[in-house]
Structure 1
């Protein structure tokens, strides 16, 4: 692989990168397996970060809740104005991302989450209820990741394998399957941390605290989660393994 190719790949990832999966993250930009590294070297953690996505989706997810709280505070605790502010920011972000060429499905899902939160808070009249969607989706995500590990379909492997168009080859590599399972526990921890913090603040009706936590536990936590899971993935693989981009096929008998 030529150094110019590596530089080109890094430039593309920087320009096109988006957080974190799915429920809570958005692995939106797959790497290019045609230009994968020839060996598992020091570029592997950055490669995993590129596959899983960058900071943009995390920032997008945090802005509408912050707009809700700002609108709520400026309007003397009116959940109606808070909901209007959140939807306005959500629509503006959606339009901006569509203009950038982001996949419509991801944009629609993000906007749908804001709309559901706005409907809930308008029906209950309690400002803290705007964050119920985040609390519920993070709890569901933690459960889904745990189940995926137990049934030996770790979601980190599913996400990365799908992004790299590996189909099921990663599951036929026992070492890589084990490594993905170990690294997936890092993502479980991410969701558990959010659920714990959000639950305490929600029970205390701490609306401003929920907004601060929503921002603090979005991009910074996702960035830490990607870095730690990349480290765990590498440490869990044998020293001679070529890396997650190159699953080993089982020896034919």
Structure 2
């Protein structure tokens, strides 16, 4: 296997010929294609604000919720100004509002993190199922970004690589659930905040890097890369 999945044309082996007319390959990483770290940083700000308000208010639930909602609104405004999709921004703000509502209605500060716990459990299940049914979500996401629809699935090497790399992301959700559950059951609000920060943007950055390594090492030497699935019309004779 090569150092990167996108090799120079002179190194392409029989059966993995680069489509005619394409220029030299560029070794894009998943971080280049998917980004994600900026959004992950944004996601940690409302929980941090909740903890700060909760503590400064003498463990006042209303102070924590008010701080989280205020910071959530500011984050939404910043995201809109930098060009994020309004739908994505709205979903992020809605998640903060729902978390705040659950905490207020139940009167338990730890319930501010219940949505996060449940969403990670659901994500772990969905990613696992996607791999089992051979529609790995990492391939779906990258394929959508590259405008490939389902063409990547007709490339056995890419399908296999996306499946292996998707296990990395599945593991991140399982890890979060394993950490969040005992903290939630123990009512450890500050512990949940620390876990939320530690297992958000640093974990996303690590998952982007590790899944990229797994993916590129799953591709055979000479494979033209993520942008060029080797389907019937591109395979050599």
TM-score by length of 2: 0.87
CA shift, 1:207, in A, is 0.5
What is the alpha-carbon distance in structure 2 between the residues aligned to residue 226 and residue 99 of structure 1?
A: 25
CA shift, 1:176, in A, is 0.5
What is the alpha-carbon distance in structure 1 between the residues aligned to residue 123 and residue 36 of structure 2?
A: 19
Aligned length: 214
What is the alpha-carbon distance in structure 1 between the residues aligned to residue 61 and residue 151 of structure 2?
A: 50
What is the alpha-carbon distance in structure 2 between the residues aligned to residue 191 and residue 136 of structure 1?
A: 10
Matched, 1:72 2:54: yes
After superposition, residues 98-177 of structure 1 pair within 5 angstroms as 98-177=80-159
- Give the match for residue 45 of structure 2: 63
- Give the match for residue 24 of structure 2: 38
SS of residue matched to 2:230: coil
Aligned with residue 201 of structure 2, among 219, 240, 245: 219
Q: Is the 8 A contact 1:38 1:242 kept in 2?
A: no
Distance 1:37 1:95, change over 3 A: farther
- Give the match for residue 33 of structure 2: 51
- Give the match for residue 6 of structure 2: none
- Give the match for residue 179 of structure 1: 161
Higher relative contact order (CA 8 A, sep 6+): 2
SS of residue matched to 2:169: helix
Which ranges in structure 1 are unaligned for 5 or more consecutive residues? Answer: 1-35
Q: Is the 8 A contact 1:59 1:219 kept in 2?
A: yes
- Give the match for residue 16 of structure 2: none
CA shift, 1:37, in A, is 7.0
Matched, 1:204 2:186: yes
Matched, 1:245 2:231: no
What is the alpha-carbon distance in structure 2 between the residues aligned to residue 103 and residue 194 of structure 1?
A: 26
CA RMSD across the alignment: 1.6
Whichever of the two has the greater Rg, that structure is 2
Which ranges in structure 2 are unaligned for 5 or more consecutive residues? Answer: 1-21
Deviates more, 1:143-152 or 1:47-56: 47-56
CA shift, 1:99, in A, is 1.7
